[in-house]
Chains A and B, each alone.
Chain A
Amino acid sequence: MAGRRAALKAVDWAAFAERVPPNQRAMYNALKTRNDALTARLAALPEKPPAIDWAYYKANVAKAGMVDEFQKKFSALKVPEPVDTQSAKIDAQEQEAAKSTAEYVQASKARIAQYEQQLQKLKNMIPFEQMTFEDLHEAFPETKLDKEKYPYWPHKPIADL
């Protein structure tokens, strides 16, 4: 019976729980309860059913050959193992997750690079006391007054004052 003994990997639930973001807590809890339920169910079932005492039955059942017939059929019976339909799906999911993770990590790194760049710019800025207005517009482009769009003072819509 080697086929069905797929080794159960020990899952470190504590470390797993740490990494779950708060908005996915409910899913994590559902998974955990399901896992616990299955573990309990598995633990309650014995690995092999107890052996049938054929000698006793042979001695006691009067019908000739019935016990023999049963014994023969019983030992010949092969209980089919349940077919594993989900593992392939899980593997596919894992591949997909790996791919999307790689993408996400990449996007995240790009974002971090952007943030770092802005951070450096802010940190290397000259102090405000030594700035002219031109320097200010260079450092913070949003403060620049659009003299083409609003040619008359105050060069921005009155509502923005």
Chain B
Amino acid sequence: MLSRLVLRAAPAALRALPPPPLPVGVLHATRQLHTTQQSLAPLPPLPEKGGEVRHGLIPEEFFQFLYPKTGVTGPYMLGTGLVLYLLSKEIYVINHETVAAACILSVIIYGVKRFGADVAAFADKLNEEKMAKALEVKNEAISSLQAAIDEEKKEQWRVEGRTYLFDAKRNNVAMLLEANYRERLMMVYNEVKKRLDYQVAMQTLKRQKEQDHMIQWVEKNVVQSITPQQQKESIAKCIMDLKALSKGAHAAL
């Protein structure tokens, strides 16, 4: 009974003890296991094809491993020997499952040999399409960024042209001022000239009118002053003159 108590108490006592300090060598051992760098990014490109395999099952390395000692036929002899050993010692018993296995395996192998390449090509094509889409997205992004950079540069170049704008504006203002000033000068000149010309024109008009009036008046008076006596005398004189003239004309002819 006492021994049962001790036996029951032993595990509790063992648990109560502080855990034994791990030997330092264990820690070092765990660290040594990770000899290569951990995160190897980017991944090195995966190999295109899997390891070489003979008869679809046995890796080529096995044959190479046995070649120095047993030559080319070594692995085959080993394989045959193993199979015969298993069969003869009935370690592998031939029963109905064997036949089933043979049928299933032959169908599977036939299927893989016939359709394997096509299925692989189809799967590759799917993958290629995904890659192509991703690549297209990337190229588009690159080209759009390039275009954006060029646009920005062009806009900067454009902005440099603002001096032209302000020069043009100042030119406009200067031209406007100049034109206004000249217009004012011209206006002053025109007004003064108009007034002076008016005066001159008024004077000439007045003089003309006076002249005309005087001429008329003189004529009127002269006509009035011709008395009837003078009229007869002047008419007689005219007739005599005419006769003299006609004589002279006859003589000339």
Contacts and interface: CB of A to CB of B under 8 A. Distances in A.
Interface of A: 4-9, 11-12, 15-16, 18-21, 31, 34-35, 38-39, 41-42, 45-50, 52, 57, 60-63, 66-67, 70, 74, 77, 79-82, 84, 86-87, 90, 93-94, 97-98, 101, 104-105, 108-109, 111-112, 115-116, 118-119, 122-123, 125-126, 128-132, 135
Contacts of B153: 112
Interface of B is mostly: helix
Interface string B159-192: 1111011111111111111111111111011101
A116 B178 CA distance: 52
Nearest to B180: A82
Contacts of A86: 173
Contacts of B41: 135
A84 B174 CA distance: 8
Contacts of B246: none
B185 A79 contact: yes
Contacts of A61: 196, 199-200, 203
Contact of B152 (A42, A112, A125): A112
Given A4-B177, A16-B164, A105-B156, A62 B149 contact: no
A47 B149 CA distance: 52
B146 interface: yes
B209 to A, nearest CB: 14
Given A11-B164, A35-B171, A108-B155, 18 more contacts: A8-B175, A12-B164, A20-B161, A31-B168, A35-B175, A41-B179, A42-B175, A46-B182, A61-B200, A74-B192, A81-B181, A82-B177, A82-B180, A112-B152, A118-B145, A126-B42, A132-B43, A135-B42
Closest 5 CB pairs of A and B: A19-B161, A49-B189, A16-B164, A6-B174, A45-B182
